């Protein structure tokens, strides 16, 4: 399945019918040729031809027989999801994590290296150590390599345009890795990929529209419109963390004052909570030995105990996130909005504050039809998002706006 056949697979699956049939089989656990024809509107002959080709490529396989409606028992088809995988690389808090992920999002193998163990120009070699380790033991066919990169990423050209903390400026990572491995390489930023993961491997969205806001050290969003990840004209769609929302706020890392990130992020919460620690009536004093020892878990416990100062801090965070969501709702009228990231441990009090703020800041009928959810961070959200990106680009499992040639 390497070399010629893999290339043929890519060319073939660009074919619309083939992608359509493959997607229908992927969405079903097991499905017959007749049902595929019914669902796609393609003729039985076309379906049979496409199915034969997909079987030949090892992308699908036959799996027993289904119920008969009178005649012969129909043969069922399913995706051979463990026979193919994606090499996913993600910049996490302290490490760069590499994983081999199968077509259903199952993590087959995982390796990692410290986040800061190289000079910027050595990054491709550093990433290659992870890729080589994963490839050495892989028995699956690798569909492609996907990377989640910090900063602003141009997924069309496969370039990290600017990741200041890592000293990367216009780094042509795709070109370098593609030449080295002769595999397709795709990159995007983590907030976009978290949205793709939720869309493809989470509860998705019936309408095809979904916004996912990730709140941790920073705040970023990913927006899926009509089943398509929306990047924006400069690939900066979803950069809501650096929209100024607080007059007279504090200076942000980006240089502006009062960005959403400075009032509604984990560092913002800890800053406010540590100030409240100084108040004699603060319950935080019973939960942590010093202001510096107040972490998000301490904040959560004080919130659950009903500490009024901490409750006020979280209400303010909900207030600002609600305003940001009101803008998304006013502009796009997206029904399902997910807030996730480290902040999700704060649970119902935060969610209620966000919903109350949204109700105050958006047009009533639009706010009423919007379902805001607070979902704990999936441990492998970004790895799954990377997998969704590669499956989409290589096999057409999502409709992404960024079509790469
Ligand atoms: Zn900023």
Ligand 1 centroid–CA 250 distance in Å is: 10
- Determine the topology of domain 84-197+381-395 in CATH: Nucleotidyltransferase; domain 5 (3.30.420)
pLDDT at residue 165 tops 70: no
Ligand 1 centroid–CA 72 distance in Å is: 64
Cβ partners under 8 Å of residue 155, min gap 6: 186, 187, 188, 231, 235, 402, 404
| Cβ atoms < 10 Å from Cβ of 163 | 19
Query: Minimum mean pLDDT among 137-146, 237-246, 392-401: which range?
Result: 392-401
The pLDDT of residue 162: 77
Token reading at 24: 């229908």
Ligand 1 centroid–CA 215 distance in Å is: 14
Ligand 1 centroid–CA 239 distance in Å is: 9
In the chain, CATH 1.10.10.10 covers 4-79
The pLDDT of residue 183: 96
Whole-prediction pTM: 0.84
Q: Give pLDDT tens digits for 94-116.
A: 889 999 999 888 999 999 999 88
Q: Which residue has the tokens 């009178």?
A: 70
The pLDDT of residue 400: 43
Output the CATH code of domain 4-79. 1.10.10.10
Ligand 1 centroid–CA 171 distance in Å is: 23
Under the banding of pLDDT at 50, 70 and 90, the label for residue 207 is: confident
Ligand 1 centroid–CA 260 distance in Å is: 7
Ligand 1 centroid–CA 241 distance in Å is: 6
Domain range 203-374, its CATH number among 3.40.50.2300, 3.30.420.40, 3.90.1150.10, 3.40.50.720: 3.30.420.40
Does 66 or 223 have the greater pLDDT score? 223
Mean pLDDT of the chain: 89
Give the C-alpha separation, 334 to 369, whole Å.
9
- Least Cα distance to 192 among 144, 254, 149 occurs for 149
Give the C-alpha separation, 157 to 405, whole Å.
10
């Amino acid at each position: 399945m390497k070399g010629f056949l893999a290339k043929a697979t890519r060319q073939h699956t660009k074919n619309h019918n083939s992608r359509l049939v493959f997607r229908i089989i992927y969405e079903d656990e097991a499905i017959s040729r007749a049902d595929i024809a019914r669902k796609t509107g393609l003729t039985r002959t076309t379906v049979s031809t496409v199915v034969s080709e997909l079987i030949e490529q090892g992308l699908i396989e036959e799996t027993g027989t289904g119920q008969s409606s009178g005649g012969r028992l129909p043969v069922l088809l399913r995706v051979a999801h463990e026979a193919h995988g994606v090499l996913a690389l993600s910049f996490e808090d302290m490490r760069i994590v590499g994983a081999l992920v199968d077509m259903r999002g199952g993590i087959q193998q995982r390796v990692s290296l410290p986040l800061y163990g190289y000079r910027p120009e050595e990054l491709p070699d550093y990433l290659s150590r992870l890729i080589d380790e994963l490839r050495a033991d892989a028995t699956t066919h690798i569909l492609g390599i996907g990377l989640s990169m910090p900063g602003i990423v141009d997924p069309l050209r496969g370039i990290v345009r600017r990741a200041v903390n890592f000293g990367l400026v216009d780094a042509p990572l795709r070109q370098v890795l593609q030449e080295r491995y002769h595999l397709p390489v795709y990159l995007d930023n983590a907030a976009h990929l978290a949205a793709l993961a939720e869309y493809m491997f989470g509860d998705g969205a019936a309408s095809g529209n979904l916004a996912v806001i990730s709140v941790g050290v920073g705040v970023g969003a990913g927006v899926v419109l009509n089943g398509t990840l929306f990047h924006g004209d400069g690939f900066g769609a979803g950069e809501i963390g650096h929209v100024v929302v607080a007059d007279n706020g504090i200076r942000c890392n980006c240089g502006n004052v009062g960005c959403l990130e400075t009032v509604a992020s984990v560092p913002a919460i800890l800053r406010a909570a540590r100030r409240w620690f100084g108040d004699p009536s603060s319950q935080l004093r019973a939960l942590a030995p010093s202001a510096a020892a107040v972490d998000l878990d301490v904040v959560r416990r004080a919130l659950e105990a009903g500490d009024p100062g901490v409750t006020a801090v979280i209400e303010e965070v909900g207030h600002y996130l609600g305003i940001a969501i009101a803008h998304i709702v006013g502009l796009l009228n997206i029904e399902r909005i997910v807030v996730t990231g480290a902040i999700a441990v704060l649970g119902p009090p935060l969610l209620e504050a966000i919903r109350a703020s949204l109700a105050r800041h958006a047009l009533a009928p639009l706010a009423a039809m919007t379902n805001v959810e607070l979902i704990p961070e999936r441990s492998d959200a970004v790895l799954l998002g990377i997998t969704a990106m590669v499956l989409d680009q290589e096999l057409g499992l999502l409709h992404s706006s960024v079509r790469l040639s």
